[in-house]
């Protein structure tokens, strides 16, 4: 999905938000120079990939010298770890807050999918790095991020298991279905482009309806909680 930006389109600069304001995901990164480098690394990794990006590329985007980068980050991989940790912690929080915002398995599942899809659309530059550069992490960093990814899966599995227990979902393989739902949501970051024909909210509504149908929820047909009918 490509095209010129439209009124109300998402500002997906790494530090931007849907309303053009700051993304508080990065607020913990201090001092300001370290945050500038982190945001520059997000842009560079998303555009060129981790392995093709040099520390000079990152420093140049941040308006700093390569030597200044090493004051804040020992290696390029440490930058990726920080980006991955912050991004995965935010995605876990997005799922947790969405799950807590609703009652009933269908409503919880729809809310979780909507929120997760919206985050991956609104933050598609960041999310591409967070979700698709995992293999470049080393040792303990890789283990830490995998644990956070598993936490996201556990949240979805819990919702699915509750729906199966109440007879609201028909799911034979809960773990496999949770992975499929997460993969569907995560893939939005790969193809979403600001100014496309659908907003992040509309894509979230669409995907929520698709997922409810996937699990055989009676709430899905006829404009239930996963179908907002926005076209």
For the chain, domain boundaries: 76-214
Q: pLDDT tens-digit profile of 118-177? A: 999 999 999 999 999 999 999 999 999 999 999 999 999 999 999 999 999 999 999 999
Average pLDDT of the residues in 91-120: 96
CA neighbours closer than 13 Å in the CB half-sphere of residue 158: 12
User: How does residue 30 score in pLDDT terms, banded at 50, 70 and 90?
Assistant: confident
- Weakest mean pLDDT among 73-77, 172-176, 226-230: 226-230
Lowest mean pLDDT: which of 9-23, 64-78, 179-193? Answer: 9-23
Give the residue carrying structure tokens 């599995």.
157
What is the four-CA torsion angle of 86, 89, 90, 93, rounded to 10 degrees? -160
CA distances from 23 to 39, 74, 129, 201 (A): 11, 25, 16, 18
Cα gap 140→155, rounded to integer Å: 23
Task: Return the H-helix or E-strand segment holding 77.
Answer: helix 76-100
Pair 52, 35: CB distance under 8 Å: no
- The domain 76-214 is placed in CATH, from the list 1.20.1440.80, 1.25.40.10, 1.20.1510.10, 1.10.357.10, at 1.10.357.10
**pLDDT the model gives residue 28:** 84
Asked whether the predicted pLDDT for residue 229 surpasses 60, the reply is: no
Higher-pLDDT residue of 214 and 7 is: 214
pLDDT band per the 50, 70, 90 thresholds, residue 107: very high
Confidence of residue 231 (pLDDT cuts 50, 70, 90): very low
For residues 183 and 131, what is the distance between their CA atoms, to the nearest angstrom? 10
Half-sphere exposure of 15 (CA within 13 A, CB side): 14
* 3-class DSSP assignment, residue 197: coil
Tell me the pLDDT band of 218, cut-offs 50, 70 and 90: confident
């Amino acid at each position: 999905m490509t095209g010129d930006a439209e009124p109300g389109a998402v500002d997906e600069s790494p530090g931007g938000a849907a309303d053009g304001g700051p993304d508080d995901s990065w607020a913990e990164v201090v001092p300001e120079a370290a945050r500038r480098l982190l945001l520059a690394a997000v842009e560079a990794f998303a555009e060129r990939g981790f392995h093709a990006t040099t520390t000079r590329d990152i420093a140049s985007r941040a308006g700093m010298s390569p030597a200044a980068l090493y004051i804040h980050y020992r290696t390029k991989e440490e930058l990726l770890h920080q980006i991955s940790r912050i991004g995965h912690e935010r995605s876990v929080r997005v799922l947790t807050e969405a799950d807590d915002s609703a009652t009933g398995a269908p409503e919880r599942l729809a809310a979780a999918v909507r929120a997760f899809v919206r985050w991956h659309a609104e933050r598609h530059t960041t999310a591409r790095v967070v979700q698709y550069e995992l293999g470049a992490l080393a040792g303990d960093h890789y283990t830490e991020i995998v644990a956070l990814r598993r936490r996201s899966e556990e949240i979805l599995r819990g919702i699915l298991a509750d729906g199966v227990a109440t007879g609201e979902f028909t799911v034979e393989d809960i773990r496999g279905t949770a992975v499929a739902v997460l993969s569907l949501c995560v893939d939005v970051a790969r193809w979403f482009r600001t100014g496309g024909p659908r907003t992040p909210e509309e894509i979230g509504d669409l995907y929520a309806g698709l997922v409810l149908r996937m699990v055989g929820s009676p709430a899905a047909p006829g404009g239930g909680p996963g179908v907002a009918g926005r076209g």
